Structures are given as C-alpha cells and as structure tokens.
Structure 1
Amino acid sequence: MRALAEFVMKSPSRALGAAVVAALIPVLSVFSGAIVALVWLRMGPAQGIKILLAAALPGLYFWLSASSPDVLLGVVGAALLAEVLRSNQGWSRVLIVGALIAAFIALTIQWLDDDLQVQIIDLLLDQGGLAESYELTALDQQQLAATLGWLFNGVITSVQLLMLIASVIIARWWQSMLYNPGGFQAEFHALRLPLWSAAFLPLVLVLVASGQTWLMPALPVLLVPHLIAGVALVHAVFAIKKYNSFWLGLLYVLLIFTQPYMSLMLVLFALADSVMNVRHRLAPPPPPPSQDGDGEA
C-alpha cells in the first residue's frame, strides 16, 4: 500500500493514470476514490479536480451504459469529503456530511430495478416462508413488500457510504504514512460524534416506528457514522489501556461473522461515547505538579 501511495504522489500524471485504471475496475473503485482524495488532501482542489475529472470518466461510462452510478458517486463523494476533512480537520464532520448526503440519496434514488426488487421480495415472502409463517394477509404482504423495498434501498446506500468513507480513510492513512507518521492514528482515536447526533438517530427511529415509513431508507445510512465512531472508540480504548492487539483483530473477525449484532453493539458504544466521553473517563490522570524545594512559593 505504501508503494502505491509513493507511486501516486511522484507526479500528477501517475496519480491520474492510477485513478483512471482503478475506476475502470469496479471492484477497485475504492482505491480510485482514495487516490482522488489523497491528491485533494495533499495538493489542494486545484490539482485534485483534475484527477477527479479523469477518474469520473469511467464512472460516467458505467452510469450511462449499465445504469450503475456507484463508481461516479464514489470518486465525486471522495473528493467532497476530502475537502471537508481538509477544511475542518475533523472526522466527525466528515462522517455527518457523508451520512446526510447518503441519506438524501437513499430517499431519492432507487438502486434496484423494479422487476429485480419484486422478484427478491416475492422470494422472501413465498419461498422464504414469511407469508406462511406469520399468516400474512394480502394487504399485510403488500405493506411488507413496500417496507422491504425501502429497507433494501437504505442497506445498499449504507454499503456505498461505507466504501466512500473507506476511500477517504485510506487516503488519510496514506497521507499520514508519507508525510505525518502517526497523524492518522491520533485523528482516528480522537473521533467522537457530537451529542446532538446521538439524539438524531433515535429521533428518526421513533418517526419510522410512528408510521413515517418513508424515512426507513435513511436508517441504515445513519447507522454508518456511529459504526465507524464505535470502531474508533474501541481502538482508542485499546491504546489507552495498552491491550494486546490480538483482541483488536478478534473484534474485526466478530464484526465479519456476527453481523448485525456486533455492529449494533458498536453503534451503542458510539452513542454512549457521545454522551459520556469515554476516552476522557478512561484516560490516566495527569502527573502531579512538581514542587521545588520544600514546596514553598
């Protein structure tokens, strides 16, 4: 990874070529976004927008030819969040801005084709046994189908947001590795969402539960900043307490194989941290002030 970052930063032409090649392979598009964000963070918008325009061309092609805006949204979003991070030097603001934009996308853009979405929902209701197990009426099935459609849209958007944030994280890590060793670790360990965000997520949940189901696509998206903040909190606690990194690796294994339970736990950790500031409570007390002589002024 360091070799790629060094290659990219040797010249703008190399950065442009690497961003375009990565964008042409959708599975590697996260690195295209990372290259765009790295150049934007290090060299500023004037140089970053050149790399962005080049990397956006493959994304535009995929959008027009396959109705898939993923790559285009990834590189454009990476540039936008890189500018937020560059201007404000705050990861909490990056996560909140990213989540708000993604929530708007989840509420306005339908990712799945209508026919494919209907097939998936029918598969769950009929072959999955939901309709029979819960003895759902035709009206119940219709309402559940609409709810599942909204939920699918939110889940897909939340995955897109995770990939976008991963691009910016990789870019910041590269920047720190090349120019400011240890800087990214300090930033990430300090990541804590503001108190108002801890109230915003439960508020949306209450609105959905009270019948505002049109907000359901936003719910999975709004969980993402708290999930990232929860991971950052665990990293910070391990650093403060000097725990063995083996247990940190175990966290990621559990995060992969015990979804969604581990993710929910991390979200709850982040919500609690917004209220209680866990790092401040766990930090060791400062050393006592030194006294000269017998302590007299």
Structure 2
Amino acid sequence: MLGIANYAMKGPTQALIAIVIFAALSVFLAPFGIIVGALIALVTLRVSVSEGFKTLVWGVLSHVGLTLLLTGSMLGGFLAVAEYMLPVWLMAVVLRQTNSLASALQFAMVLVGVLVVGFHLMVADTSQWWLSLFNQYLAPVLQASQIEYEVERIAQITDHFTMLVAVFMIVLWFSILVVGRWWQSELYYPGRFKTDFYQLALPKSTAYVAIALAVLGLLNASQNSMINDLSSVLIAGLMMQGIAIAHHTVATKEMRTAWLVGLYILLFLVPESMLVLATIGLVDTWVDFRNRWTNKEL
C-alpha cells in the first residue's frame, strides 16, 4: 500500500490517476474505498487543501459515474462518497490546520453526533425505520435465497442499529485518516506517526459530556433513544484514545506485538470490549497513564 502512496505523490497527474482507478475499483470491491480515502487525506495533508479537494472531486465523479452506468442509479455512489470520501477530506483539513489527530477525531465525533440528532428529529421511531428498511430490501433477498432468520432477533438488532452505524462511521473515517497520516509519515517524516498517535488524547470536555450522557442513559430505560446513540459516539472516540494508550504501553514496556494482535482480535470477536478501552480512555483524561509510565521509565 505504501507503494501506491509513493506513486500518487510523484505529481498531481499520478495522484488523480490513482484516485480514479481505485475509486472505480471500489464500485466492485468496497475495501478499495479505504485506499481512495487515504489518498485523498494524503494529498490534502502533504500538498494542499485545494489539491486534496481536486482528488475528492475526481474520486466522486469516477465512482458515482461508474455506479450510474452499471446500476442506473447514483444512490450507491453517493453513499460511498459519504462513507469514505467527503468526511475523510474534511477530517484531513482539520488535521492539516491543527496538526492534531485528537482534533480530527473530535471533529468526526461532532459530525456524527449532529447526524444522529438530525436522524432522531426526522424519524420518530428509528428502530421501526430500520426494520421497515430491512423488510423492504433485505428480507426478500434472504427469502429468495432460502436463508432462515429470526424475526425477533432482527428486531433486537434494529433497536441498536443507529448506535452501530454511528460507531462504524467514526471508526472507519478515523482509520482511513490514520492510514493517510501514516503514509505521510513513512514517506516524509519517518517515525513521526508513532509519536503523534501515541499522544492521542481527547480534551476533558469530551470526558465530561461522556459522563453526562452516561448518567442520562441510566435515567432513561429506553434502549432505542437519542441519548444512547450519542453515548456510542463518545464511546467510539474514547476507544480510539484507549487504543493509543495500548500501543504506547506495548512500546514503552517493550512488550510483544502479540498483545496488540490479541487486542484487535478481542475487539472483533467481543465488541463489548470496546467499553473497556473507552473506560481506559476516559480515566486517562485525569490520570494520564502515558506520562506516568514514561516518567517511571526515566
């Protein structure tokens, strides 16, 4: 993947060629979208905001145009733009201006929080909305494929689906931005990325809002509520801080990389473990684990 970044940074023409190719490929295989977003972030961070916007425009045109050609609809293309192009470019702009991964992460959290609030204001019953969407589009496909599913289980999932989407968006956007930042570091500032990522720390205001939402969530018995969905936004952001602490700890204590591999496997197999990392990130706001451990090493 670093070779792709190296080719794209040889000049503006190469960057646009890379963007167009991978944006087109992402129509057929969605994971290519990660490369598209990372290239947009890299050009924005390394060259300029305007050049980054040009790559964004070309990525949008190639992806949406090919989607329209193949399906007769631009909807899927615009969903991809919202999934890994436009938000990543906006985050890259914030990162370029502040030189702070935490600021870019906080921006993503605010953006997703606004979307969650807007969604709840527009939709009276979000769970029912997701369920009707499932019944309209996915249920016929599953029935035609003779795949059995439990209706009650689907209803339980839709109760938390807004929360899952909110977490997914923050994790995906920030991960793509991190890839772009890592490319920039490897190509121009070797070792700089680790220093930046290890020090990722959200402001105390984020922790205070997380605590307030947690208290309100305890007072609200409804699982399908705006409070719970907004809490997931804070949990996702604080989890990223917890991951940064884990990476810093492994490096400082000279532990084996297997610890980090195990951590990511645990997150994949047991999503509830993100609460543990989020709690670590929350406590770190006041305890500052990394500086404590670094000082002890000294």
Q: Normalising to structure 1: TM-score of the pair? A: 0.80
User: Measured at CA, do residues 165 and 32 of structure 1 come closer, stay the same or move farther in structure 2, by a change above 3 Å?
Assistant: same
Pair 1:27-2:31 in alignment: yes
Check whether the contact 1:40–1:83 (CA below 8 A) recurs between aligned residues. yes
Tell me the equivalent position of 1:290.
Answer: none
| Per-residue Cα deviation, 1:86-127 (whole angstroms, up to 9, x for no partner) | 111111111111011012223334897662345789xxxx93
Check whether the contact 1:19–1:35 (CA below 8 A) recurs between aligned residues. yes
Tell me the equivalent position of 2:101.
Answer: 91
Tell me the equivalent position of 2:56.
Answer: 52
User: Measured at CA, do residues 12 and 105 of structure 1 come closer, stay the same or move farther in structure 2, by a change above 3 Å?
Assistant: same
User: Measured at CA, do residues 29 and 181 of structure 1 come closer, stay the same or move farther in structure 2, by a change above 3 Å?
Assistant: same
Q: Structure 1: which 5+ runs fail to align?
A: 131-143, 288-297
Q: Secondary structure of 2:295's match? A: coil
Determine the C-alpha separation between the residues in 2 that align with 1:105 and 1:68: 19
| Per-residue Cα deviation, 1:163-189 (whole angstroms, up to 9, x for no partner) | 111111000000000000000000001
Check whether the contact 1:150–1:214 (CA below 8 A) recurs between aligned residues. no
What's the C-alpha RMSD, in Å, of the aligned pairs? 2.9
Check whether the contact 1:23–1:71 (CA below 8 A) recurs between aligned residues. no
Tell me the equivalent position of 1:2.
Answer: 2
Check whether the contact 2:88–2:176 (CA below 8 A) recurs between aligned residues. yes
Q: Secondary structure of 1:193's match? A: coil
Check whether the contact 2:112–2:170 (CA below 8 A) recurs between aligned residues. yes
Check whether the contact 1:59–1:70 (CA below 8 A) recurs between aligned residues. no
Pair 1:41-2:21 in alignment: no
Determine the C-alpha separation between the residues in 2 that align with 1:114 and 1:283: 49
Instruction: State which structure, 1 or 2, has the greater radius of gyration over its C-alpha atoms.
Output: 1
Q: Secondary structure of 2:202's match? A: coil
Tell me the equivalent position of 1:140.
Answer: none
Tell me the equivalent position of 2:146.
Answer: none
Tell me the equivalent position of 1:79.
Answer: 89
Q: In the TM superposition, what is the alpha-carbon distance from 1:241 to its structure 2 partner?
A: 1.3
Determine the C-alpha separation between the residues in 2 that align with 1:6 and 1:210: 52
Q: Secondary structure of 2:31's match? A: helix
Match of 1:194 among 200, 203, 214: 203
Tell me the equivalent position of 1:115.
Answer: 132
Tell me the equivalent position of 1:284.
Answer: 295
Match of 1:221 among 233, 250, 253: 233
Check whether the contact 2:16–2:58 (CA below 8 A) recurs between aligned residues. yes
Q: Secondary structure of 1:244's match? A: coil
User: Measured at CA, do residues 59 and 199 of structure 1 come closer, stay the same or move farther in structure 2, by a change above 3 Å?
Assistant: farther
Q: Structure 2: which 5+ runs fail to align?
A: 140-148
Check whether the contact 2:39–2:180 (CA below 8 A) recurs between aligned residues. yes
Q: Normalising to structure 2: TM-score of the pair? A: 0.80
Pair 1:266-2:269 in alignment: no
